[in-house]
Amino acid sequence: MSDWDTLFDELYLRTYAQLGDPETGRRQAEGVVRLVGLEPGADVLDCPCGYGRHSIEFARLGLHVVGGDRSQALLAEAKRRAGEDEWPRFVRADYRELPFEDASFDCVTNLFTSLGYWGDEDDRRAIAEFRRVLRPGGSLVVETMHRDHLMAIYSPRSWRELPDGSLVIEQREIDYERGLSVTRHELVEPDGNRLAAPYEVRVYTATELIGFARDAGFAQVSCYGDFDKTPLSRDTRLVLVAR
Ligand SMILES: C[S@@+](CC[C@H](N)C(=O)[O-])C[C@H]1O[C@@H](n2cnc3c(N)ncnc32)[C@H](O)[C@@H]1O
């Protein structure tokens, strides 16, 4: 069983906030702006925003960005990193029931494999919520692992050392029938302290996510392998744009 609220807390900050280099957040934010043609002043919802790495870059590009996330710990870190500027703003938000009026945004971003946690029906609800809060003609951008790529790069275990000397150890299995990547994620800190979170992520095919977007009422759905429109393949992640 997954314990998302334990993973997306101190454990996530101690692991991924160390790994995520600022350059990646900047490159991806610029990629979204080019891909959907956003002008300064456009209203953007970055959900989930995690510790704010894309929201902060969107704001630097002149966008009026709201970062929404379920995790209080990650929102607090996002606020700390963003400082006192007017944008980005951060709001506690569960994407299955967004606390925003209909037609509030020109673009919604859902980046870094941020669906697949709560079951297929909840992901359908989330995509319907993203559409509800978009203005007519607005764009949803989803960037995620997809099943074909997972199959191409799958390895049952891995470990890496973080800058502070901690070790991240991951053991993975695939549940082929349910389409799940089942992971035991463990952080071993330099003093020997261990933090662990098992989790199961539903890893969709592009075809499945296109179906979810169409069912939610999006008229036009395109898939790429990156923000620069690299063709989608088993060797790329998935960037889905729904209008
Ligand atoms: C893999 S992280 C990605 C965060 C961010 N997009 C990034 O690239 O750094 C997934 C995020 O989803 C958030 N999350 C999980 N379930 C959520 C939900 N139901 N509603 C809103 N946020 C959620 C977690 O708190 C976490 O910040």
DSSP calls for 9-35: IIIHHHHHHHH--HHHHHHHHHHHHHH
Beta carbons within 8 Å of 124's beta carbon, 6+ residues apart: 212, 215, 216
Nearest-CA residue for ligand 1 atom 13 is 48
- Cα-atom radius of gyration of the chain, to the nearest Å? 17
Choosing from 19, 45, 114 the residue with most ligand 1 atoms within 8 A of its CB, the one to mutate for a pocket test is 114
CATH topology of domain 149-200: N-terminal domain of TfIIb (2.20.25)
Which listed CATH number (3.40.50.920, 3.90.550.10, 3.30.2130.30, 3.40.50.150) goes with 4-145+205-242? Answer: 3.40.50.150
Using the structure block, give the residue that is written with the tokens 């941020």: 114
pLDDT of residue 1: 57
Residues lining ligand 1, judged by CB closer than 6 Å? Answer: 4, 8, 48-50, 53-54, 69-71, 74, 93-96, 111-114, 117-118
Distance from Cα 80 to the centre of ligand 1, integer Å? 17
**Which whole-number Å values give the CA distances from 123 to 26, 65, 82, in the listed order?**
27, 22, 28
- Rounded CA separation 42/110 (Å): 17
Closest C-alpha among 12, 63, 59, 69 to residue 41: 63
- Residue 170 near residue 184, CB atoms below 8 Å: yes
What integer is the mean pLDDT of 191-196?
92
Distance from Cα 48 to the centre of ligand 1, integer Å? 4
Query: Quick one: which atom of ligand 1 is closest to the CA of 48?
Result: 22
- Rounded CA separation 61/59 (Å): 5
pLDDT of residue 90: 98
pLDDT of residue 7: 87
Terminal C-alpha separation, the chain: 34
Nearest-CA residue for ligand 1 atom 24 is 8
Beta carbons within 8 Å of 166's beta carbon, 6+ residues apart: 14, 15, 18, 187, 188, 189, 190
CB atoms within 10 A of CB 108: 29
Per DSSP, the residues of 124-170 read HHHHHHHHHHEEEEEEEEEEE--HHHHHHH--SEEEEE-TTS-EEEE
Residue 190 gets the label, from left (phi > 0), alpha (psi -120 to 50) or beta, of: alpha
- Residue 12 near residue 87, CB atoms below 8 Å: no
What integer is the mean pLDDT of 127-138?
98
What integer is the mean pLDDT of 176-193?
94
Asked whether the predicted pLDDT for residue 21 surpasses 80, the reply is no
pLDDT tens digits, one per residue of 76-128: 999 999 999 999 999 999 999 999 999 999 999 999 999 999 999 999 999 99
What residues does each domain of the chain span?
4-145+205-242, 149-200
Per DSSP, the residues of 191-202 read TS-EEEEEEEEE
Q: Choose between 2 and 216: higher pLDDT.
A: 216
What is the model's pTM?
A: 0.96
DSSP letter for 8, please: I
Distance from Cα 110 to the centre of ligand 1, integer Å? 8
Choosing from 3, 6, 7, 8 the residue with most ligand 1 atoms within 8 A of its CB, the one to mutate for a pocket test is 8
Choosing from 65, 66, 69 the residue with most ligand 1 atoms within 8 A of its CB, the one to mutate for a pocket test is 69
